[in-house]
Structure 1
Amino acid sequence: MAARLIDDDPALAHRHALAASRRAGRIAIVRETVAITAYATEDYALALRELRTYRRISGKDDQIALLVDSERGVGRPDRALEVGRAVDRSALPVPVRVELAIAMSGARLDLGETERALTELDIPELDPDRAFEWSPALFAARAAVLEELGRTDEAALWQRRADIAAEALHDASGAADLETIVIEDAVIEDDAVEGDRS
């Protein structure tokens, strides 16, 4: 029920998760669900507590980005960066690694470290020519940081890439084998791309 409701009614989803935790509080997925719904309702302190419990029970780092963002939510961007740096990124699944990069970039923005926020997003998964499930969020995050830096033309370019990637993935969502979409119709100027990569 929590999974079905979280997008439309996060508060009700959270109540369902809390009810489950009262009956099965030692099960990792229950604590994970409480954490996710707490985050969705902006109860970042509870999300942190539940994420730590989930991590301890499961031994997994798959919610590390949410942990970093929750530290940001309680006003501790420095601690958020420490938490993010403490994990072995090479051992994380690619979508989790991308989410972590976005969260770390956000923590840098919180600290006013805009150039370093951009650097956090310079990861191998930042491929402007192909769309993966994580590409729209990653491209949009880069656009937001570039906007903060006053590099509006580059920001608009990356936001356009984010929009194209999201549309391409949506259009191909019925495909049987959806791993990568090649963005062929982006019509992005070579000079702009080269300038952004330099």
Structure 2
Amino acid sequence: MPRAVKAELRGLPADLAEKVGGHLLMAGQLIDTDPVEAQRYAAVARRHAARLPVVREAAAETAYAAEDFAAALQDFRTLRRMTGSDEYLPVIADCLRALGKPDEALATAREGSGGRLPVATRVELRIVEAGAREDLGQVAEAKRLLRKAWDAEHNSPAEVRARLAYAYAAVLEREGNTADSRAWFARAADADPEATDAADHLRVDRTDDIEVEFDAEGEE
């Protein structure tokens, strides 16, 4: 268990700390494979120690992974109040998008526009903002935001650049602009092959091209 988690749990009675810690551990182990079950473990920890930020974070992250966006939104908002950190703004805005509230997502994104956010948080917030614009049918504005961010973040870490390129490629793909989306998926893969599944998109596109070639040969 991470040292920071143990430090927070020390404020609980020993038997309760052990119980809560065990549930947090199980939630962490299951979140990628069975997020619904992970959320159940985190919910038990939350019932016993809701005032601990580490518990709230586990509850929020597992709810988000399980696509229980209303619960995730509640806990992420509470976590932001508890910690005073704006690092949760992107995921709060994304929960609002998932709940069909793009205007509220945009308002949340604006909360972070005046502060000095870490680069990864700033970029994720811009990606969510662009997604909210797309939800509202404002595709041109979504693309403008992402291109502006891409140009502004030219010295940012490779993972951040990959996330921006991927987001822009995805908008182009949904727009039906296959050629340009493929070029931007390639940029994402080149920037950081591990940050996104851009390489999978490129493989799928290549497979489609091969199938078209075979179909054309068969018609001759």
Whether these two folds match at TM > 0.5 is: yes
TM-score interval for Structure 1 and Structure 2 normalised by the shorter chain: 0.7 to 0.9
Asked if the contact 2:162–2:195 (Cα under 8 Å) also holds between the matched residues in 1, the reply is no
- How far does residue 85 in structure 1 lie from its aligned partner after superposition? 0.7
Aligned length in residues = 169
Equivalent of 1:21 in 35, 41, 46: 46
Question: Is 1:97–2:153 an aligned residue pair?
Answer: no
- How far does residue 88 in structure 1 lie from its aligned partner after superposition? 3.6
Gaps of 5+ in 1: 171-198
Asked if the contact 2:158–2:192 (Cα under 8 Å) also holds between the matched residues in 1, the reply is no
Question: Is 1:139–2:165 an aligned residue pair?
Answer: yes
Cα RMSD of the aligned pairs, angstroms, is: 2.2
Asked if the contact 1:126–1:139 (Cα under 8 Å) also holds between the matched residues in 2, the reply is no
Higher relative contact order, structure no. (Cα contacts within 8 Å, ≥ 6 residues apart)? 1
CA distance in 2, matches of 1:58, 1:95: 18
Asked if the contact 1:139–1:161 (Cα under 8 Å) also holds between the matched residues in 2, the reply is yes
CA distance in 1, matches of 2:137, 2:29: 37
CA distance in 1, matches of 2:80, 2:87: 9
> Any idea what SS the aligned residue of 1:92 has?
coil
Equivalent of 1:43 in 47, 64, 68: 68
TM-score scaled by length of structure 1: 0.77
Question: Is 1:31–2:61 an aligned residue pair?
Answer: no
Equivalent of 1:83 in 87, 108, 113: 108
The one-letter code sitting in structure 2 at the alignment partner of 1:39 is Y
Q: What is the percentage of aligned positions where both structures have the same residue?
A: 41
CA distance in 1, matches of 2:101, 2:193: 35
**Bigger Rg, which one:** 2
CA distance in 1, matches of 2:171, 2:114: 22
